[in-house]
């Protein structure tokens, strides 16, 4: 079997691999390879992060053995006394973290959190307003191939598209109001998967109130920044807030729904279970509680402040190298890089593939008003949460920008140049990663 992660410093994974080698060497080998990949590459995918050993350990406990359908004090199975206490603790910490009254910690994902929220607020066929996916929205905000677009009627508000406008590629709040007046949506959704600017939740609430709509803020990407006070909070403006617990919040993969409205909280609970889910993943809920506890500590605020500094440093360095950042920059943890200014030949698909060869992991992403199809795209989305977790600062982010430019420039030159340059950059990336190991 391959060497089980020579560069990995996480004792949890190491112990797991030792156990798995005896029971299932094939899976052990694949996990070892993935652990090595994570340890020796630079993670720039904006929706990914590296959890602490404590968060990871909580997921791999005996909590996975238990069915706990229902809620604390009202389960459909016996033997849930400690699971009740764990879920209560997770809910209390979530409420403390985000300054709200009610939290449901059971959703398995952000998309399922959105499903339950929509079921709580709308009937099939009702209209809701959101930002379209190609402008930075999310699959679960009204795509026709998703439940949100199949069972409800999405209408979309636009970004500013005039290139000479100071708010170019940012949310057009006047247009949000106009769309609401025209279509009278039951729900207005804000919060996005590829939007690099501060969201004005107060303006969204004003637009919703004008037509009697309910405001839902999906803060999946910025939840950690919100919790740390680095991005404005959707409370008290939003009626309902949904989020994932990974990404900037640096917890396990899962979802969360919050509100200050007791009646809405009861509806949401019913629509999570039994509405869209059965038994909760108690090992993940335990891990969520650990992550919320970590996010309540002062050092998490420092971390989130550095996330934003690092994103700005990367964006500014790329601009100096001849790339265009949509909307002119970033206020949060992510940016969309328009590759066409570097070369009309460059596609997001090429960039993603070439950079991965060099150990730099990102994802192709459409840019606002992108003329290319989603499988190609004209841009890449880059984020700073995972690199900041490793301890990278502004200097390292500027170095990453240089590597990105070297690789993409080589790819534009010839396959031979690309091959030799990606090998050189890969070794440099490996060396930097060994200096900044993953959290132990």
User: Which structure tokens are listed for 35?
Assistant: 């652990």
Average pLDDT over every residue of 39-47 = 97
Q: Where in the chain is the domain with CATH 3.90.1150.10?
A: 306-435
Which of 142, 72, 109 is closest to 256 using CA atoms?
A: 109
What is the DSSP code (8-state) at residue 171?
Answer: B
Spatial distance between the Cα atoms of 414 and 139, rounded to a whole number of angstroms: 36
Residue 152 has pLDDT above 80, yes or no: yes
For residue 142, the model assigns a pLDDT of 65
Q: Is the dihedral of CA 267, 194, 355, 371 positive or negative?
A: positive
Spatial distance between the Cα atoms of 297 and 292, rounded to a whole number of angstroms: 9
Q: Where in the chain is the domain with CATH 3.40.640.10?
A: 62-295
Please provide residue 361's backbone torsions phi and psi, each rounded to the nearest 5 degrees: -105, 125
Whole-model pTM: value is 0.92
Q: Is the dihedral of CA 269, 279, 86, 245 positive or negative?
A: negative
The CATH T-level fold of domain 306-435 is 3.90.1150
Q: Where are the beta strands (DSSP E) in 132-271?
A: 153-157, 187-190, 214-218, 240-244, 255-259
Pairing mode, strands 187-190 and 127-131: parallel
Please provide residue 348's backbone torsions phi and psi, each rounded to the nearest 5 degrees: -60, -35
Residue 124 has pLDDT above 60, yes or no: yes
Higher-pLDDT residue of 403, 169: 403
For residue 159, how many other CB atoms are within 10 A of its CB? 22
Average pLDDT over every residue of 132-157 = 79
HSE on the CB side for 241, CA within 13 Å?
Answer: 31
For residue 231, how many other CB atoms are within 10 A of its CB? 23
Average pLDDT over every residue of 313-331 = 96
Average pLDDT over every residue of 262-277 = 96
Query: Residues 6 or more apart from 89 whose CB is under 8 A from it?
Result: 289
For residue 249, the model assigns a pLDDT of 97
pLDDT tens-digit map of 77-89: 999 999 999 999 9
User: Which structure tokens are listed for 116?
Assistant: 């339950």
Percent of the chain with pLDDT over 70: 97
User: Which structure tokens are listed for 38?
Assistant: 């994570």
For residue 7, the model assigns a pLDDT of 43
Residue 139 has pLDDT above 90, yes or no: no
CATH for 62-295 is: 3.40.640.10
For residue 338, the model assigns a pLDDT of 96
Query: Residues 6 or more apart from 217 whose CB is under 8 A from it?
Result: 189, 190, 191, 199, 201, 204, 234, 237, 238, 240, 241, 242
Residue 112 has pLDDT above 60, yes or no: yes
For residue 2, the model assigns a pLDDT of 36
Please provide residue 297's backbone torsions phi and psi, each rounded to the nearest 5 degrees: -85, 150
CB 226, CB 234: distance < 8 Å: yes
Q: Which residues are catalytic?
A: 67, 69, 218, 244, 247, 253
Average pLDDT over every residue of 219-229 = 97
User: Which structure tokens are listed for 303?
Assistant: 């971390």
Type and span of the H or E element at 424: helix 415-435
Please tell me the total number of residues recorded for the chain in this structure: 440
């Amino acid at each position: 079997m391959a060497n089980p992660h020579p560069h990995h410093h996480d004792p949890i994974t190491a112990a797991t691999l030792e156990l798995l080698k005896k029971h299932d060497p094939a899976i052990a080998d694949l996990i070892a390879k993935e652990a090595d990949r994570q340890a020796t590459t630079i993670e720039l995918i904006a929706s990914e992060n590296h959890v602490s050993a404590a968060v990871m350990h909580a997921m791999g406990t005996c909590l996975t053995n238990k069915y706990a359908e229902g809620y604390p004090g009202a389960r459909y199975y016996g033997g849930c006394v400690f699971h009740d206490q764990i879920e209560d603790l997770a809910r209390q910490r979530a409420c403390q973290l985000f300054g709200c009254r009610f939290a449901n910690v059971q959703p398995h994902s952000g998309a399922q959190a959105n499903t339950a929220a929509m079921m709580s607020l709308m009937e099939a066929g009702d209209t809701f307003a959101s930002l379209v996916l190609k402008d930075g929205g999310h699959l679960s905000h009204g795509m026709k191939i998703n439940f949100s677009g199949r069972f409800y009627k999405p209408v979309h508000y636009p970004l500013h598209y005039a290139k000479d406008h100071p708010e170019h590629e940012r949310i057009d709040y006047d247009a949000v109001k106009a769309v609401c007046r025209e279509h009278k949506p039951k729900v207005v959704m804000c919060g996005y998967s590829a939007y690099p600017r501060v969201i004005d939740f107060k303006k969204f609430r004003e637009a919703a109130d004008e037509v009697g709509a309910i405001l839902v803020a999906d803060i999946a990407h910025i939840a950690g920044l919100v919790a740390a006070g680095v991005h404005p909070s959707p409370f008290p403006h939003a009626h309902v807030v949904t989020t994932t617990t990974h990404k900037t919040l640096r917890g396990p993969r899962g979802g969360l729904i919050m509100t200050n409205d007791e009646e809405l909280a009861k509806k949401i609970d019913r629509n999570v279970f039994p509405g869209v889910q059965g038994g909760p993943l108690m090992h993940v809920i335990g891990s969520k509680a650990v992550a919320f506890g970590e996010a309540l500590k002062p050092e998490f605020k420092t971390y989130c402040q550095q996330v934003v500094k690092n994103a700005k440093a990367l964006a500014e360095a790329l601009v100096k190298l001849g790339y265009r950042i949509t909307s002119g920059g970033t206020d949060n943890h992510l940016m969309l890089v328009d590759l066409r200014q570097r070369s009309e030949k460059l596609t997001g698909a090429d960039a993603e593939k070439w950079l991965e060869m060099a150990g730099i992991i990102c994802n192709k992403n459409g840019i606002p008003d992108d003329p290319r199809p989603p499988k190609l795209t004209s841009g890449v989305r880059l984020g700073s949460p995972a690199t900041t977790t490793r301890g990278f600062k502004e200097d390292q982010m500027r170095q990453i920008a240089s590597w990105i430019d070297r690789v993409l420039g080589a790819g534009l030159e010839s396959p031979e140049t690309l091959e030799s340059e990606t090998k050189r950059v890969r070794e440099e990336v490996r060396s930097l990663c060994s200096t900044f190991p993953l959290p132990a």
